[in-house]
Amino acid sequence: MIIHVDMDAFYASVEIRDNPTLIGKPVVVGGSPSGRGVISAASYEARKFGIYSAMPSREALRKCSSIVFIKSRMAHYAAVSRKIRQIFFEFTSLVEPLSLDEAFLDVSGCKRLFGSGPDIAQQIKTKILAETGLIASAGVAPNKFLAKIASDLHKPDGLTIVDPADIQNFLDPLSISRVWGIGPKTQQKFTRLGVQTILQLRQLDLETLQSNIGDSAQHFYNLARGIDSRPVVPDRITKSVSHEHTFPVDIYDDEVLTAWLHELTDLVGRRLRRHDIFAKTVQLKLRYDDFETITRRKTIAATHSTKTLFETASQLLSDVGRHSRRGVRLIGLGTANLSRSAPRQLSLFDQEDKNKQSRVDEISDSIRDKFGQQSLNRGSNLEHEIRLRPDPRIGNEE
C-alpha cells in the first residue's frame, strides 16, 4: 500500500503559522509585484481570487489588491521539511521525497506495527499537525499514480482512500488532465478524439491511441486502468541541482553577471556538498531581453567544489560573449550528471589544492548553516547589491 502525503499550500502555510496575524488573509510567497517576480505558493484564501503558483506577481496583485506578499525563505522551508520527513521515517524507511512538500511512502510491511494504510495516513497527518502546526493531505492507494491523484482530490486536510477493488469507479469520472503526462497540448489531441474523462480514455483501444498519440500510448493506456508498477525509491539521487535569478531590470554589465554567477555557484555547491553528491556537468543559462534563452554546458571531472564550479561557469559565460550587448533578464547555474562517486585520485599538487578548497567550502558551509546564507559574501558579490548598471548604449545617466 502506497501513501502520498502532500502539504497544503506549504510555503504560505509556514509563513501563516509563524505569523498568526496573517490568518484569514490572502497570502502569497514569491517575488515582488514591482519587478518580474512570480508566485511560489498561495494560501487557500488567495486561491479564491484565482491566484496560483507560477503566476506573475503583478497579475496576482491585479486580481487581489489586498494580497500579502512575503519573500520566500527556502532554508527555513527546508528545515521544516526535514522535520516532516523524520515523521515519515517513524513509520517506514521506504520514503521517496518528490519535493520539500510531498513524498511517497510504501507502508506495505507496516500493518502489524501501525495498522492499515488509511490508519497510518491518519496517524501521519495527526503527528505532522501536532509537531509542526501544519496541515497535510494524503492519498492511500495500491500504487503511486492512484495515491498522487487521491491526495489532491479533497484539499485542504484531505484523506482519500482508493480501494483496490474499486479502482475504475474511482478513476472513470475524473478529467484526463489528472493523468500524468497529459498537458495542454496532449489534452487538445484527446479533445479532438472526443475524450475528456478517464473513462473515455479507457474506452480507446491501444491501436487508436498509438495512431493518434504516438509513443506515449502504452503509458496512457495503462494509467487509464490504474496500472502503475513503479516502486517507491527511497534513495533516489536527483537528476540536477540548479539555481537561477531573474533581474528587476535588464543587465548589460559583465561584472554584475559574474557577481551573480558567483552567488548562484555558492548555492549550488552548498547543496551538492550537503547531499554528498558530485557533478560532472556544469550548465549556464541566460535569458535575454527578448526572451530568447540559451544554455551552454561543459563536462568536467566529478566535483562539488565551489571554486571549480565557478571557474567552469565563468568560462562558459566568457565563451558566450557579450558582443551584441543584449540585455540579460535571467541567469542560471545548473549541474547534472550527478553521482555519489568521489573523483579520481589526483596528483600530489592537485590533491593539496583540492584539500584547501574542500576546507574553504567546509568552513563557509558551517558559517552559513549557523548564521544564514547572507552571513558570508564574496567581495565580488557586492557588485550586484550596489548597482544595476543601465544600458551602455544610452549613456551614463542615473
Architecture of domain 11-73: 3-Layer(aba) Sandwich (3.40)
What's the pLDDT tens digit per position in 251-261? 888 888 898 89
Question: Residues 322-325: contacts with CB within 8 Å, 24+ apart?
Answer: 322/254, 325/252, 325/391, 325/392, 325/393
The predicted pLDDT at position 371 comes to 47
Tell me the one-letter amino acid at 125.
K
Q: Half-sphere exposure (CA, 13 Å, Cβ side) for 392?
A: 9
Closest CA to 3 of 134, 143, 111, 114: 143
End-to-end CA distance of the chain: 63
The predicted pLDDT at position 276 comes to 82
User: In what side-by-side order are the strands of the sheet with 159-161?
Assistant: 95-99, 102-106, 2-7, 136-141, 159-161
Cα 47 to Cα 45: distance, rounded to the nearest angstrom: 5
The predicted pLDDT at position 392 comes to 41
Is 292 a known active-site residue? Answer: no
Which stretches of the chain are DSSP H helices?
10-18, 44-47, 57-63, 74-89, 111-114, 117-132, 144-153, 167-171, 184-192, 198-202, 206-213, 217-223, 254-274, 306-320, 348-371, 382-386
Cα 221 to Cα 210: distance, rounded to the nearest angstrom: 10
The predicted pLDDT at position 380 comes to 45
Given a contact cutoff of 8 angstroms between Cβ atoms, the answer to whether 114 and 123 are in contact is yes
Cα 134 to Cα 36: distance, rounded to the nearest angstrom: 30
Task: Give domain 2-8+75-167's CATH superfamily.
Answer: Reverse transcriptase/Diguanylate cyclase domain (3.30.70.270)
Tens of pLDDT along the chain (398 residues) come to 999 999 999 999 999 999 999 999 999 998 888 877 888 899 999 999 999 888 888 999 999 999 999 998 888 999 999 999 999 999 999 999 988 899 999 999 898 889 999 999 999 999 999 999 999 999 999 999 999 999 999 999 999 999 999 999 999 999 999 998 888 888 888 999 999 999 999 999 999 999 988 888 999 999 999 999 999 988 666 678 888 888 878 888 888 889 889 889 988 998 888 878 899 999 999 988 877 889 999 999 999 999 999 999 999 999 887 555 788 988 999 999 988 766 555 454 444 555 555 555 565 555 545 444 444 455 444 444 434 444 443 333 32
The predicted pLDDT at position 386 comes to 37
Cα 140 to Cα 118: distance, rounded to the nearest angstrom: 6
338 SS3 class: strand
Output the nine-digit C-alpha cell for 264: 548562484
Residues 6+ apart with CB under 8 A from 252: 325, 326, 327, 328, 389, 390, 391, 392
- Annotation: CATH topology of 240-394: Dna Ligase; domain 1 (3.30.1490)
The predicted pLDDT at position 353 comes to 52
Cα 107 to Cα 129: distance, rounded to the nearest angstrom: 20
CATH numeric code, 168-223: 1.10.150.20
Catalytic residue among 102, 311, 397, 398: 102
The predicted pLDDT at position 361 comes to 54
Ordered by start, the domain boundaries in the chain are 2-8+75-167, 11-73, 168-223, 240-394
Percentage of the chain with pLDDT > 90? 56
User: Which residue in this structure is represented by grid cell 512575503?
Assistant: 70
The predicted pLDDT at position 253 comes to 85
What predicted TM-score, i.e. pTM, was given to this entire model?
0.69
What's the pLDDT tens digit per position in 61-94? 999 999 999 998 888 999 999 999 999 999 999 9
Residues 6+ apart with CB under 8 A from 395: none
Cα 382 to Cα 75: distance, rounded to the nearest angstrom: 22
User: Which residue in this structure is represented by grid cell 543584449?
Assistant: 326
What's the pLDDT tens digit per position in 184-194? 888 888 999 99
